[in-house]
């Protein structure tokens, strides 16, 4: 049989709760839904394989937002996230996370996931900066996925690997009815009817093009092509603050994190070419990234992760974690370059742009129960709008989503959908396979992402955005009319390009809507260089209205943790310059 040969086929299954995405939030959501009602059928659908999928396919080297009693309080954490996001936060969901996450840590611990402990069995929480103590290293973090998979098998979750969901199904009255998916190795179509659906499909991490030019050398797992953002959009769900991009510091060219959070507690820091610290900002935020960006361009760059002042034995300890977990090829990369941390600093850079609430704030709008604006549809993890929730947030909010979705499924019957929609979607999905001649997906993808870099990457210039959108529209036409897929694997890539294109369009649209600058580098508009609290102290919600992309404002919910007046502009004030 030829490689990944296309097979004609369509089948249908049904379940109570369908979880799409088996990375971090998804397995937790599926597990909690099943434990809530063990008699119910829970399907976990995954584009790759649940064993090793998602942002933490190879594990994680630590938690950086652990709210552990005795070290931090939910109030303090909520305050910090609010300030780091320039106040544009619905605190209820953040506060709920902060209250629940310790229970989740204990639960993960009981699954056999290893967190660093002192010799008396207490969690060894580390301090990175003076404001909060939230870092909990995971010395055996590579066991995370293994431990989760074990729980899924034990609970008898129906796991469906190598199926990519393409569109959601809805009833006439707007309730979610299930999803359509396609097998990534055979192109067979699978329709899954469900009473409730949870989207846990990760970041839109394959949006910008990495500086190396290697399309899959992205900061996020390259499988995270923003499929969840696109699916939610086409289902009519609202997406929040998409103009608040994700940009991260990373090891130059390797495009993986340098992990200041791992090395930081040991005394390592980010420094410029003069060997001095330059980051003024305390929070992991767009403001911090702006400082990074400015330093790179100032002539004081390159920027480095500074380790060589540390003791030999300390460096050994850092290496043993950095080179084993999360991105274990990091050591191999440094070795190839001949970089020894003892004598040389690690050159850093900033990543390509992406959309990811896990590190910033852009995602499918959800409330504190992980509900989207579509009844029966939930979202959690990097693609849901709870800001800065990282891995632990994916677990915690995935858990919230799983429980609430099962309650919804228990009180609702299947929603009816129009079967003509399935036929239409099948034709749309398979269209690239029906063409004899055309453009392969890798070329369409490269061009799309190159345009994202050229025109959408901050600083955001209105004129550039207009040009970029025009060019993207041309490529979209190529994509819709002329893209070909000669086997099932190419079809997977062809479908991913469509998600990438949708995300690029949404990012551009949302960025033009917010006529101010906010969140440092993430939304730096040169035509509107100032923060405008009078008109823009609000969320923006993007959604599909009558087939058109539309943005509206949404008020920030009243705070549950009050922020004093003098703390409100702390964010601006904390840029403490030497008076000289």
Binding residues for another protein restricted to 439-458, rule: CB under 8 A: 440
DSSP string, 384-451: BSSTT-HHHHHHHHHHHHHHHHHHHHHT--PPP--HHHHHHHHHHHHHHHH-SS-B-HHHHHHHHHHH
DSSP state of 557: P
Q: Does the footprint of another protein cover residue 217 (CB under 8 A)?
A: yes
Q: Does the footprint of another protein cover residue 273 (CB under 8 A)?
A: no
Q: Does the footprint of another protein cover residue 190 (CB under 8 A)?
A: yes
Q: Which among 357, 397, 351, 353 is positioned nearest to 378, based on CA atoms?
A: 397
Q: Is 183 helix (H, G, I), strand (E, B) or coil?
A: strand
DSSP state of 452: I
Q: Does the footprint of another protein cover residue 110 (CB under 8 A)?
A: yes
Q: Which residue lies nearer to another protein by CB, 53 or 511?
A: 53
State the pairing for strand pair 158-160/42-45.
parallel
Candidates 173, 413, 436, 437: give the one binding another protein (CB under 8 A).
437
Q: Which residue lies nearer to another protein by CB, 326 or 505?
A: 326
DSSP state of 246: B
Q: Which one of 350-358, 380-388, 514-522, 571-579 is the stretch in contact with another protein (CB under 8 A)?
A: 571-579
Q: Does the footprint of another protein cover residue 139 (CB under 8 A)?
A: no
Closest approach of another protein to the CB of residue 554, in Å:
34
- Distance between start and end Cα atoms, the chain: 73
Q: Which one of 212-220, 232-240, 418-426, 514-522 is the stretch in contact with another protein (CB under 8 A)?
A: 212-220
Considering only residues 62 through 91, tell me which ones interact with another protein, judged by CB under 8 A.
none
Q: Which residue lies nearer to another protein by CB, 212 or 433?
A: 212
Q: Does the footprint of another protein cover residue 342 (CB under 8 A)?
A: no
Q: Does the footprint of another protein cover residue 214 (CB under 8 A)?
A: yes
Closest approach of another protein to the CB of residue 544, in Å:
29
Treating both helix axes as pointing N-terminal to C-terminal, what angle do 488-513 and 462-482 enclose, rounded to 10 degrees?
150
Which uninterrupted H or E stretch holds 498?
helix 488-513
Candidates 39, 69, 119, 564: give the one binding another protein (CB under 8 A).
119
Q: Which two tokens stand for residue 203?
A: 């970041």
Question: CA quadruple 216, 218, 221, 225: dihedral positive or negative?
Answer: negative
Q: Does the footprint of another protein cover residue 416 (CB under 8 A)?
A: no
Q: Which residue lies nearer to another protein by CB, 1 or 420?
A: 1
Q: Rounded CA gap, 28 and 381, in Å? A: 10
Ramachandran class of 302: left when φ > 0, alpha when ψ lies in -120 to 50, beta otherwise = beta
Candidates 106, 280, 340, 572: give the one binding another protein (CB under 8 A).
280
User: Any idea what the Cα angle at residue 388 is, between residues 383 and 392, rounded to 5°?
Assistant: 80
User: Which residues is 540 bridged to in the sheet?
Assistant: 553
Closest approach of another protein to the CB of residue 413, in Å:
23
Q: Which one of 169-177, 209-217, 423-431, 499-507 is the stretch in contact with another protein (CB under 8 A)?
A: 209-217
Candidates 277, 342, 463, 470: give the one binding another protein (CB under 8 A).
277
Contact 77, 544 (CB under 8 A): no
Q: Which one of 274-282, 356-364, 408-416, 424-432 is the stretch in contact with another protein (CB under 8 A)?
A: 274-282
Contact 224, 55 (CB under 8 A): yes
String marking each residue 157-186 x if it binds another protein according to CB under 8 A? -xxxxxx-------------------xxx-
Closest approach of another protein to the CB of residue 526, in Å:
25
Considering only residues 6 through 65, tell me which ones interact with another protein, judged by CB under 8 A.
9, 11, 13, 43, 48-49, 51-54, 57-58
Q: Rounded CA gap, 44 and 27, in Å? A: 7
Q: Which residue lies nearer to another protein by CB, 49 or 99?
A: 49
Q: Does the footprint of another protein cover residue 579 (CB under 8 A)?
A: yes
List, in order, residues 6 or more apart from 477 with CB less than 8 Å away: none
Q: Does the footprint of another protein cover residue 201 (CB under 8 A)?
A: no
Q: Which two tokens stand for residue 170?
A: 């809805």
Considering only residues 353 through 412, tell me which ones interact with another protein, judged by CB under 8 A.
none
Q: Which two tokens stand for residue 6?
A: 């296309």
Q: Rounded CA gap, 235 and 250, in Å? A: 34
Candidates 112, 174, 236, 459: give the one binding another protein (CB under 8 A).
112
Alpha carbon 215 to chain centroid distance?
Answer: 18
Beta strands, E only, 200-266: 239-240, 249-251
State the pairing for strand pair 10-20/42-45.
parallel
Q: Which one of 330-338, 357-365, 459-467, 511-519 is the stretch in contact with another protein (CB under 8 A)?
A: 330-338
The CA-atom distances, in angstroms, between 562 and each of 76, 329, 360 are: 11, 44, 22
User: Which residues is 364 bridged to in the sheet?
Assistant: 239, 384
Candidates 38, 213, 299, 558: give the one binding another protein (CB under 8 A).
213
Closest approach of another protein to the CB of residue 112, in Å:
5
Closest approach of another protein to the CB of residue 6, in Å:
13
Q: Which two tokens stand for residue 393?
A: 């947030």
Candidates 333, 528, 537, 559: give the one binding another protein (CB under 8 A).
333
Candidates 38, 120, 338, 436: give the one binding another protein (CB under 8 A).
120
Candidates 103, 153, 342, 463: give the one binding another protein (CB under 8 A).
153
Q: Which one of 296-304, 322-330, 367-375, 550-558 is the stretch in contact with another protein (CB under 8 A)?
A: 322-330
Q: Rounded CA gap, 210 and 87, in Å? A: 30
Q: Rounded CA gap, 384 and 185, in Å? A: 28
Rounded to a whole number, what is the largest CA-CA distance in the chain? 73
Q: Which residue lies nearer to another protein by CB, 316 or 515?
A: 316
Q: Does the footprint of another protein cover residue 267 (CB under 8 A)?
A: yes
Count other Cβ atoms within 10 Å, centred on residue 463.
10
Q: Does the footprint of another protein cover residue 193 (CB under 8 A)?
A: no
Candidates 103, 129, 470, 553: give the one binding another protein (CB under 8 A).
129
Candidates 121, 299, 338, 558: give the one binding another protein (CB under 8 A).
121
Q: Does the footprint of another protein cover residue 308 (CB under 8 A)?
A: no
Contact 128, 578 (CB under 8 A): no
């Amino acid at each position: 049989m030829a490689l990944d040969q296309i097979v004609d086929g369509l089948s249908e299954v049904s379940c109570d709760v369908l979880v799409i995405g088996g990375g971090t939030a998804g397995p937790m959501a599926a597990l909690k839904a099943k434990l809530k009602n063990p008699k119910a059928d829970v399907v976990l659908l995954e584009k790759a394989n649940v064993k090793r999928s998602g942002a933490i396919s190879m594990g994680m080297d630590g938690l950086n937002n652990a709210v552990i009693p005795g070290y931090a309080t939910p109030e303090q954490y909520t305050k910090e996230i609010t300030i780091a996001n320039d106040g544009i936060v619905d605190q209820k969901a953040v506060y709920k996370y902060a209250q629940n996450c310790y229970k989740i840590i204990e639960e993960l611990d009981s699954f056999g996931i290893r967190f660093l402990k002192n010799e008396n069995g207490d969690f060894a929480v580390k301090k990175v900066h003076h404001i909060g103590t939230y870092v909990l290293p995971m010395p055996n973090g590579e066991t995370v996925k293994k431990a989760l998979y074990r729980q899924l098998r034990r609970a008898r979750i129906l796991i469906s690997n190598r199926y990519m969901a393409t569109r959601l199904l809805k009833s006439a009255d707007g309730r979610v009815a299930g999803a359509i998916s396609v097998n990534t190795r055979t192109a067979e179509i699978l329709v899954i009817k469900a009473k409730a659906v949870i989207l846990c499909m990760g970041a839109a991490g394959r949006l910008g093009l990495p500086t190396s030019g290697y399309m899959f050398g992205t900061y996020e797992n390259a499988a995270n092509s923003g499929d969840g953002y696109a699916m939610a959009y086409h289902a009519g769900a609202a997406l929040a603050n998409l103009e608040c991009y994700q940009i991260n510091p990373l090891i130059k060219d390797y495009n993986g994190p340098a992990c200041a959070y791992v090395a930081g507690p040991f005394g390592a820091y980010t420094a410029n070419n003069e060997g001095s610290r330059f980051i003024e900002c305390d929070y992991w935020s767009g403001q911090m990234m702006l400082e990074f960006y400015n330093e790179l361009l100032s002539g004081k760059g390159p920027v480095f992760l500074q380790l060589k002042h540390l003791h030999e034995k300390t460096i050994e300890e850092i290496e043993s974690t950095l080179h084993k977990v999360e991105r274990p090829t990091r050591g191999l990369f440094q070795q190839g370059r001949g970089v020894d941390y003892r004598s040389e600093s690690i050159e850093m850079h900033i990543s390509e742009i992406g959309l990811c609430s896990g590190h910033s704030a852009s995602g499918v709008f959800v409330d504190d129960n992980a509900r989207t604006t579509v009844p029966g549809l939930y979202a959690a993890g990097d693609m849901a709008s709870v800001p800065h929730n990282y891995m632990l947030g994916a677990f915690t909010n995935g858990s919230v989503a799983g429980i609430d979705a099962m309650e919804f499924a228990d009180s609702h019957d299947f929603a009816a959908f129009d079967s003509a929609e399935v036929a239409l979607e099948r034709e749309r999905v398979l269209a690239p396979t029906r063409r004899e001649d055309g453009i392969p997906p890798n070329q369409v993808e490269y061009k799309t992402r190159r345009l994202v870099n050229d025109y959408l990457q901050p600083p955001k210039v209105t004129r550039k955005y207009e040009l970029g959108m025009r060019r993207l529209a041309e490529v979209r036409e190529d994509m819709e009319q002329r893209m070909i897929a000669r086997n099932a694997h190419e079809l997977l890539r062809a479908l991913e390009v469509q998600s990438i294109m949708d995300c690029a369009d949404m990012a551009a649209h949302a960025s033009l809507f917010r006529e101010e600058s906010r969140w440092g580098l993430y939304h730096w508009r040169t035509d509107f260089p100032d923060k405008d609290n009078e008109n823009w102290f609000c969320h923006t919600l993007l959604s599909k209205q009558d087939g058109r992309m539309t943005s509206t404002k949404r008020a920030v919910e009243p705070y549950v943790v009050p922020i004093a007046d003098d703390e409100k502009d702390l964010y601006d004030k904390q840029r403490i310059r030497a008076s000289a």
